[in-house]
Amino acid sequence: MAVLLEKNFPVEAGAFTTAGEASTTIKRTLKQLGIGPEVLRRVSVACYEVELNLVIHSRGGTLTLLVDPEKVTLISKDVGPGIPDIEKAMTEGFSTASDEARTLGFGAGMGLPNMKRNASEFDIQSEVGVGTTITMSFALK
Amino acid sequence: MTVREVMQIVDGKILVGEDRLDTPVDTACGSDLMSDVLAFVKEKAVLITGLINPHVVRTSEMLDITCIVFSRGKMPSEEILEMAEEVGIAVISSPLTTYTACGELYLHGLPGTKPKKPAPEGA
């Protein structure tokens, strides 16, 4: 499918102050493209969750936005540390977030399940010592 | 219910969005946990929270939340107010505790967000 738009957003580990800026830009970009409010909301929530995860848990990574006529795709790819037990990480309430993240109101163990709930398709691949890649797509039709 | 009615019910002061006092709201959520807000809240909502940091606005922006009520008389920073202004979210400061503010709004007919599961559309 022809890609209409591709944008990459580097996300820095531990950058709590700027966390969410990529999601804000992505939301505005999609709004300008005329993406409907229901899909836009689901993309925004999942995007913010995955961006926060990059800030809270990863050693840094990149968020990629792809838009084609059928769907919006978000890819989060980090450079580690990787998730030892994906099934556990996908459980609501399970979290390894830092106190800093919790002070800001995050780290309740809702992130990954919430991404899965909002996306039309959700895939997570992770290898300890290598990194984690999360791919989410949101059908437009 | 409108933002204006929310302001009156929680005995609050509008800090951002005086021009949006007549905007309708359908539902509300009281939480200091943004993780839960992201997982449960629907559109046209009021968020009542005692947590004050820019991520409250960021979270609200992602969810298209209409109005944030900061409880216990907390005053958000200029940075937070500017962010809210930029994204068009009304901000109210209320002297009530989170529990009381939620209770008053509920008593006046503003329902809570329905529990999710399984579908995101609440089907």
Separation of CA B88 from chain center: 13
Q: Is B25 left (phi over 0), alpha (psi -120 to 50) or beta?
A: beta
Q: Spell out the per-residue pLDDT of chain B, length 123, in tens.
A: 999 999 999 999 999 999 999 999 999 999 999 999 999 888 789 999 999 999 999 999 999 999 999 999 999 999 999 999 999 999 999 999 999 999 999 999 999 987 655 545 443
The C-alpha of B30 sits at a distance from chain A's nearest C-alpha, in angstroms, of 13
- pLDDT, one tens digit per residue, over A32-75 is 999 999 999 999 999 999 999 999 999 999 999 999 999 999 99
Per-residue pLDDT at B105: 98
Contact B62 A27 (CB under 8 A): yes
Interface test with A, best of B49, B52, B57, B62 (most A CBs within 10 A): B62
Q: Residue B20 is which amino acid?
A: R
Contact A114 B51 (CB under 8 A): no
Angle (CA) A94-A121-A49 rounded to 5° is 45
Provide, as residue numbers in chain A, all residues whose Cβ is less than 8 Å from the Cβ of B48.
Answer: none
The C-alpha of A104 sits at a distance from chain B's nearest C-alpha, in angstroms, of 7
A137–chain B Cβ distance below 8 A for any pair: no
Q: How far apart (Å, rounded) are the C-alpha atoms in residues B85 and B70?
A: 15
Q: Which tokens hold the place of A80?
A: 């580690």
Q: Which tokens hold the place of A63?
A: 């968020």
Contact B58 A38 (CB under 8 A): no
Q: Residue B31 is which amino acid?
A: S
Which residues fall within 8 angstroms of residue A99, CB to CB, at 6 or more apart? Answer: none
Closest CA to A44 of A129, A119, A96, A128: A119
The residue of chain B with its CA nearest to that of A108 is B35
Domains in chain A: ranges and CATH: 5-139 (3.30.565.10)
- What is the ipTM, given to two decimal places? 0.90
CATH class of B3-107: alpha beta
The C-alpha of B21 sits at a distance from chain A's nearest C-alpha, in angstroms, of 22
Domain boundaries, chain B: 3-107
